[in-house]
Amino acid sequence: METVVSGIRSTGRLHLGNYYGAIQNFVKMQREYNCYFFIADLHSLTTHPTPADLHGNVKQVLVEYLAAGLDPEIATLYVQSDVPEVAELYLYLNMSAYLGELERSTSFKDKVRAQPDNVNAGLLTYPVLMAADIIIHRATKVPVGKDQEQHLEMARTFANRFNRMYKHEYFPEPYAFNFSNSLVKIPGLDGKGKMGKSEGEANAVYLSDEPEVIRKKVMRAVTDSGPTMDNQPKPQEIQNLFDLMKVVSSEDTYLHFDHLYNTCQVRYGDLKKQLAEDMIAATAPIREKIKSIASDGPYLRQVARHGAIKARESASKTIREVREIIGFRSF
């Protein structure tokens, strides 16, 4: 059975971009593959969270994983920092990851722009840690959104380079995966980039947002003054709302508003009302479960412990073999 690995950074509540880009695929994959899903708390250290924030955010992601339908009896759910073998493999991979290629990564360049006062080495080697996360379980499929495509390409480079360097076909090549055959990018509500890209709460709809909050956010989404010609191309901010509708609404609803747009009869207020209600309906079952799971400390503890044991079994086997391949020998 093929092995699947994916993770989400522990930076707080999860939004619809995380859900449709990644988690929905996790839930579908868990019954068909040997799955490892983790909470990337080591990656979150690049932005220097306080100890209290760090733990609270890890807990939040674990709760939301479970609420969204991940089953810890089937998939292995764990916290990245509970598996120190990942950090060890990261160290080995760093020895053959080169400055030039790391500096060319788009996410690194974005971070340099976003946080010029904190361009730490962890940011630079972020794709190396990500490669370690994946190949520690020798995974071949990685369910992620479109924004992670380049990281997957780098993971393949590092895996292949290790194999070549030690003349040993040890790590398989990991590929980004989505059930729909193409990776998705869920737009935000600000009319510009993807959901979750800009800081600030208004651009993203979170799985834990209350219905009233979702209505307010969607009603404030950026729109233009409306089409003036039949079949006019949609400007970015309008296309974004239609893209969101495509994932949360029924096909009939989408086609109805698309027709109204193409015949210059669309009323954005109506479109947004419908979009908000469909987002509320899509998130309702998860929102309810988040509340009940969050208060169950003993269950969360048991899930995290069980996941760490299972993840370490697989990771320590890889590390034993990697050490052997590299040439570490005990006296």
**Which residues have a catalytic role annotated?**
111, 194, 197
User: Distance (Å, rounded) from C-alpha 278 to C-alpha 150?
Assistant: 32
Q: Tell me how many residues contact ligand TYM (CB under 6 A).
A: 26
- Candidate residues 148, 203, 240, 314; the one interacting with ligand TYM per rule CB under 6 A: 148
- Candidate residues 3, 4, 8, 190; the one interacting with ligand TYM per rule CB under 6 A: 8
Selection from 10, 20, 9 nearest residue 286 by Cα: 20
Residue type, 199: E
Angle between helices 268-294 and 211-219 (to 10 degrees): 150
User: Distance (Å, rounded) from C-alpha 272 to C-alpha 26?
Assistant: 29
- Candidate residues 3, 12, 18, 217; the one interacting with ligand TYM per rule CB under 6 A: 18
Do residues 161 and 171 lie in contact, with contact meaning Cβ atoms separated by under 8 Å? no
Residue with Cβ nearer ligand TYM (131 or 266):
131
Report angle CA 162, 22, 283 to the nearest 5 degrees.
Answer: 165
Half-sphere exposure in the Cβ direction for 92 (13 Å, CA): 27
Site string for ligand TYM, 41-60 (x = CB under 6 A): --x-----------------
Residues 163-222 that bind ligand TYM (CB under 6 A): 184-186, 194-196
Residue with Cβ nearer ligand TYM (64 or 278):
64
- Candidate residues 3, 4, 21, 49; the one interacting with ligand TYM per rule CB under 6 A: 21
Decide if residue 35 touches ligand TYM (CB under 6 A).
Answer: no
- Candidate residues 97, 130, 136, 282; the one interacting with ligand TYM per rule CB under 6 A: 130
User: Distance (Å, rounded) from C-alpha 218 to C-alpha 225?
Assistant: 17
Decide if residue 22 touches ligand TYM (CB under 6 A).
Answer: yes
Residue 146: CB minimum distance to ligand TYM, A: 6
Residue with Cβ nearer ligand TYM (17 or 72):
17
Decide if residue 124 touches ligand TYM (CB under 6 A).
Answer: no
Residue 222: CB minimum distance to ligand TYM, A: 16
DSSP bridge pairs for 143: 177
- Candidate residues 62, 66, 75, 134; the one interacting with ligand TYM per rule CB under 6 A: 134
Residue with Cβ nearer ligand TYM (10 or 266):
10
Report angle CA 255, 261, 262 to the nearest 5 degrees.
Answer: 85
Selection from 34, 39, 40 nearest residue 75 by Cα: 34
Selection from 111, 92, 186 nearest residue 151 by Cα: 111
The helix or strand, by DSSP H or E, that contains position 168, with its residue range, turns out to be: none
Binding site for ligand TYM (CB under 6 A): 5-9, 17-18, 21-22, 40, 43, 130, 133-134, 142, 144-145, 147-148, 151, 184-186, 194-196
